[in-house]
């Protein structure tokens, strides 16, 4: 159970209300239901900044070294979002993927630190290496061997591997289901990102695909940041 004081409840409630307001606002802007002088990208970015700030509250509340990992992952996520939301030079998108990979590696460390199981660590590491090799070889055989594609595949493998690995966290704390759902929504977002970039399937409305990217993304980051308030009683020990 969470030992929340009134001030904690107020902070969590305020965070969620602000995120819901930002979420509804940029979704309405993207569907042209309302108009505003400020581009919706700024509201999307503000939502992630708010996630980072809230995750730091989790670090302040629990005061464990492990609680710095989720804020650190969100810092790299913010860097990635900058390249993807505000950068007009497509050649720089690779930097956004590098930092997204860093974020997923930090989430991997987070899960390892929580579970402290050599067996689980080795199994998931084998899974990551196997999926990475299969993805890269398959892409190369199909003629997709550019750096951007390879980085995107490696990033997605890290994300999916973290999602699979995260199910063990429920053994420690049932509330870690929120972390699992955050990664699942992250995957849903990135599937739509891939579909939007490739656009090789007929009969798909890619305007909806583009919109769904935004539908899934902020909720995923909100859930991941919420995780930090109930991650406690754990020191930073890898195995």
Residue 112 belongs to a domain: yes
Asked whether residue 236 is assigned to any structural domain, the reply reads: no
Structural domain for 49, as ranges: 6-229
Domain for residue 1, yes or no? no
Distance between CA atoms of residues 107 and 126, nearest Å: 17
Best-predicted range by mean pLDDT among 31-45, 118-132, 137-151, 203-217?
A: 118-132
Number of structural domains the chain divides into: 1
**172-219: per-residue pLDDT in tens?**
788 899 999 999 999 999 998 888 776 556 666 677 888 898 999 999
User: Does any domain span residue 206?
Assistant: yes
pLDDT score of 174: 87
Reported pTM: 0.91
Residue 219 counted as domain residue:
yes
Residue 238 has a pLDDT of 43
């Amino acid at each position: 159970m969470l030992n929340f004081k009134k001030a904690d409840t107020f902070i969590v409630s305020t965070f969620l209300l602000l995120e819901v307001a930002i979420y509804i606002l940029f979704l309405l802007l993207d569907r042209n239901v309302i108009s505003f002088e400020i581009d919706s990208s700024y509201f999307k970015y503000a939502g992630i900044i708010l996630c980072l700030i809230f995750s730091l509250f989790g670090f302040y509340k629990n005061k464990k070294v492990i609680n710095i990992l989720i804020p650190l992952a969100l810092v790299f996520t913010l860097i990635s979002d900058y390249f993807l939301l505000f950068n007009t030079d497509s050649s720089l998108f690779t930097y956004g993927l590098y930092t997204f990979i860093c974020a997923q590696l930090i989430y991997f460390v987070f899960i390892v630190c929580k579970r402290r199981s050599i067996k689980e660590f080795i199994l998931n590491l084998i899974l990551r290496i196997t999926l990475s090799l299969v993805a890269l070889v398959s892409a190369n055989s199909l003629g997709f061997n550019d750096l951007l594609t390879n980085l995107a595949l490696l990033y997605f493998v890290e994300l999916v591997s973290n999602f699979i690995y995260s199910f063990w966290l429920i053994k420690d704390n049932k509330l870690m289901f929120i972390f699992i759902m955050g990664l699942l929504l992250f995957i849903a977002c990135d599937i739509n990102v891939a579909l939007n970039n490739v656009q090789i399937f007929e009969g798909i409305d890619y305007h909806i695909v583009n919109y769904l990217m935004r539908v899934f993304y902020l909720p995923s980051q909100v859930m991941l940041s919420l995780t930090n308030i109930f991650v406690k009683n754990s020191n930073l020990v890898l195995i």
